[in-house]
Structure 1
């Protein structure tokens, strides 16, 4: 085939690739079949780019059909190809898909890492479309992680980037139709993620507005995958706003579209939402059946977030149906999957508290943005002031959760709150549930610090006891007029009487750890905003208190575990070493050689390189054993092993497989000549005399060589044929090497 014909066929192939890429979002099953065909065509034309894109199309199709193992394998192969041939923009698309796969599996850190790689490539290539896609993906991951404010910032950056793309598209006439489709696809994804972010922070009306914009863009672009997600988002928004009928209709539309286009992965999320609607409608058996199907599919593909939510909902359905045993079992499974996603409980509690305020801050910022747009300036200052307070809360949270000293925590909280409100009266109390006692760590009244004291947990005269028992915040504007709602007597320790107060419980994971309060000598000293601020701060104090409580126990447990782990690691290393290495020479044994050989064959097949197996048998070794004894023979074997190892590259392997038999494994070689060069080095290494009891002894080595893939495709096959070749030279000349030949005329 001449060069012009080949170039024309490659151009046609890449046009088919572009069509198949679009097909993978609409009909993934057909796209996978097409990708297989394109891969073969690309191989025939020796088009590396075509092969890599065929793998990427296959990965995207598998992802849409929830076959995450096939998706991960294919996208990794595509990434390797794009990296090898420096196809940077294509590599960025592959990283975006891998990010989506990790996001679906709940690996948010790896999803964020891949999206960030895409952004770096996009900026280095000055590729606006990729930059917008990457910022959109980063925003999506951050919203999923609960960092909604940071997510919104990236989504807004993507929106600005999209405006630049639209402006540029208007100025250009060439490929305007194709560019319009690309812009509409990006618009749909961006508006969807913005809608989802507002949905996360409870801004249902804003969420519906953005989701409807996303639906318009996806319908214009005929993007069924986006339409499915958007319809689901609209269904959730309308359900939360109380319109269950509309929510059900939108969800049924989404499910029908997903079934029609065989979007198996999206169907699982839709069925979760359907199960929730069934539970709210008291149709528990059908909800349990739906959730059981989701769990079976989730277990098969290790979809941890999906599994956690499915087990949680099924536990709820079992409980409402009156089956506590099944509810408990599912709740255990829910926690098992949550632990796999979230990490240790204390860190998660801290993160939950941080997320709470990030959500509130993002909500305020979104509202500020909306008010600016409609020029309602009078509320802007209030919201910005609220944001400043939230920033202060976050700073308090960062400081107190970093400390393990409860006294220091109390002093820090009091000093910080004094900058935000009247804290001339303040208390921090710790609840000892087993002994039903409340210990006041710090108590300040009218600016005076009192000695720590203790009251019983069910004391009728203690506001702290009330909020701990009820697990609710209380705000009193006039204590004299209001105290009887909460306590029998409003006691104080001296000085002027407190006139108003806020008391908040300290709660982590439903468990009450204590209470915090601010008090003032003035009536009506605190606003609703002050109460919410103290509620916010209480979440961080609770986490800090839990950390302090468990610190000593964790230290003790960690010390015991560390000692046990070190002992186990030493034993494991010793057992592994004995199992995989020759006891005399320290070289890998036949077992380890077999494993290394199989890995080398797989790598060579993937990278289209060769592997060489050199089977060696020492010449004239037996006379040394007979004359000087086995101990002397062992010393000779150790010396020869050292020489053979030094003759090889660091990446190659030398193993002892028998008495005086050794095998060298050469990886990633380009041709047979490379094996010949190494064989010569091995012969030279052995020919120098070995001194035994001050007597020079001359040895030789017979070497048989077998090559992958020419002489065999399996490790055992290559070892056998290298052994055959070795014996052929052993019988004839000795002290030389020969390559395996299929006929009996080897050598």
Structure 2
């Protein structure tokens, strides 16, 4: 996180005379300059300021000296000491009613929370500080809070939001020209956001600007940080030798100035480049040093990736046992330091690490026994199912995905999973698949003595019966409950409990008409799949609760939409497909138009509308129509680049903004791909459904200079396709509005040459 202890201090609230104020300002500037090279010396100067301000009975400078001292400890990765200094200074500011100073401590607290992996707490502090700074008209504080909110957004995985914050911060650079540190931090964080958004060349330019400014003003800490990230970008672009030289200089500087966090980051970056070059010994050495530094200084956000990288290097050297243990340590470290949201994601990762262990064991068996291919096939099945399951919230869709994968790998008669509700004591089966046919939903009570599913949940253990007689014996005198009205025909019956951390959330059953159908290897594979299923079930359980809550609200749809708008994420995204909505698209498009104007770049805008979508709803129902829209969204995402913006703006209308397109030929190829993406039928729970799509295209700057103008013209081009053929695309031209249309460069549904 970036500080705002910059070269100039607004001293509202200070009672000092001009002479002493100037003296303290000079000492403050000296300490600020030192803090990036010799943080302990800077701390000593901050203490001198505290004593002089105390003698002069000036609480403002006393509190400000504690703010500076806190960031000195922060640079040294001594977070407990940093927090004590911030709390001391904050108390002084609160007691003496110094709002300009109180705001600064929101930045200090947020920086520590972010470094410790408590990103939600960090964002809360930065957001509160930004609000107050704007209300009070404090430009410098406003800019620094924007910078840090952008960085926190990146750590939470929201590159688009981060880019928005950093671009707003960049706009304040002319007003804060006297703060060289501010420009350094803006360019650095802007580069981070550009890199995550796939704009690699822009990111390299921004990193270089940050590095040049930091070097020019002697800001060693910022120079080190910029070097590390610039080196990583250069390595990604194939310039490994230059990258290593840049990062090794960062490592030298961080060690000479006593910056352990930056030292660990430099070691990690060096190791990754060496690993990509096949220098395994050197990479392992650097990763081991990074782990040592990160662990000794409680660097939660670096310890886990350092351990994971060390595991990768050791695995490449066939040191599998060490690699596996390092990987487990990485998961434990991530669990310790991450927020609750990150913990949910790590549960899915943990199952993946278990699969890595299974894969190593299978490879070790390669020279000792046959059957390697079947073991690998099981691993592929588990990996595919795990990746697929955690992407869905709809229980019946989850079940269908599982059946499609498992039915080709094992003998399968019946597959299902139940969602357990501790509050009601009921296990709800949203559906079961028997012989490939999706059955209706059913449920059992936890107390039911005739249910194997209830027995599995009560005893929290795997139940495996090689024959139906064994299953009947397990229930004593109670008959086995069947699903629906059909008699029990399964011979081999397996029930697996589904756990999330220490809580049981459901049960999964796999059954076959053959006895002794499942070997120990297959059961082990199914237990691994159960880890992923537990995540999917937990997500489905949350969705079921939300649906039940929504059913109690009068005017359900209108109220849900209002509730969605209350959330900053839902306010800018479509709740059905997860795509951006029109509001977000227009904001991002306007910003990209501004950048494209400055950089002389092009933007292509695609307005797409499904053909005859009403027929799908009429034939299959609106639930099926929703699933078709989700599937179409996935097809569109697969066509466009990561840096493009795909949005759903109406019932069956989608808009895509593609900045940085090279020429009209590239646009035509992209439009061809959009139309062709729906040539293959969509697979949903109801079966295969075919739809086509009509697309209108408009270009910046040729066809418009604002988001509204581009959208309107792409819409016009799309509706002309609707009237003249459907299932094709058209580029807008002035003749689109005429009674006798003139095809734009002959581009109806074909590439331009």
TM-score scaled by structure 2? 0.48
Q: Greater helix share, 1 or 2?
A: 1
Larger gyration radius, structure 1 or structure 2: 1
